[in-house]
Amino acid sequence: MSTPVPPPVRASVTAAGVGDLVLDRPSALNALDLTMVELLTRALEGWRDDPAVRSVVVRSSSPKAFCAGGDIRAVRAAALAGDDAAVRGYFAAEYALNALIAAYPKPYTAVIDGYAMGGGLGISVHGSARVVSDRATLSMPETSIGFFPDIGASFFLPRLPGAVGRYLGLTGARISGAAAVECGLATHYVAATELPVLVEELLAGAVPEPRPAGHSELTGLYEAIDRCFAPGSLDEVAARLLAEDSAWARETLRTLREVSPMSLAVTDELLRTGAELSLTECLAHELELACEVSRSHDFAEGVRAALVDRDRSPRWERRGDGGRHPFMPDGVGVEGS
């Protein structure tokens, strides 16, 4: 007799009328596959107009990860098989979930402990409250896998203070929970040791109390970020980072030299246009772009290097301008296939 497989999302309603969504796919760090997206959507749609449900809390069963992103390996496999319908179906369902959360008529609180990356931000940032712990790590790492920050990132990243959104979107930099509160990606901060009590209070109907996060690794960098990632071309960003001549600038340059040059160009244009669009328009634009980029060499190669073979040595496609990379010294090309 086979053992029943538990669902990757557990949905229930507490005695206090709180919809409790528990992400429970720990072996995959709660990477959102289509089943999880559908289960989350079904629960939220069922509770939206139910007077017995007053609010929603989404959390993880594992302290290691809230949600480490979308199930991008499955997307790559579908794209390589030429299954465009499956690729579009996944992204359309995920982005519709993001829009549902953003427009949700009831308080929606995400409790982020551990990793929240890519799609993990899509099911948290658009909610009314984002509680992060001192173990939380947030990022939009898509340029490192030949993709671009999606799930509405073209809407929320340009709206962060100064040039922080451009910096996070291009580099995929990982930031702490304290930094997330400081720059506006999160709304509340709590020590991980206090999370069990906080979750119990939330499930009993309490509203999270704002708590200061204190200084973070970003605190002393805002002026440098604004100088280097201010409006201008990617070549100008590279020149500014070289002129900055600090440990942070050198590390940032190193990172930008390693990610997909195609992704950098796509991401930069996406963030520029997204600053003038609504979330609905951003998600529609991202859907068409996701279907296109998922068929690219860099996406297949980036996911291969990061998640399939895990050799961390992607060979990015040469650009049409002779293989030049905006963050490499003149004359240094990008490896082609």
List the catalytic residues.
70, 119, 142, 150
Residue 146 main-chain phi, psi, to 5 deg = 75, 25
The number of CA neighbours under 13 Å toward the Cβ of 261 is 23
CA distance 153 to 156: 5
What dihedral angle (degrees, nearest 10) is formed by the CA atoms of 177, 181, 187, 192?
A: 30
Return the biggest CA–CA distance within the chain: 66
Q: What is the DSSP track for 126-159?
A: TSSEEEEETT-EEE--GGGGT----TTHHHHGGG
Residue ranges of the alpha helices (H) in the chain?
34-48, 72-80, 84-102, 119-122, 153-156, 164-171, 177-183, 195-203, 222-228, 234-244, 247-258, 261-274, 279-293, 297-303
CA distance 299 to 73: 10
Q: What is the DSSP track for 159-203?
A: GSSTTHHHHHHHH---EEHHHHHHHTS-SEEE-GGGHHHHHHHHH
Report whether 188 contacts 212 (CB < 8 A): no
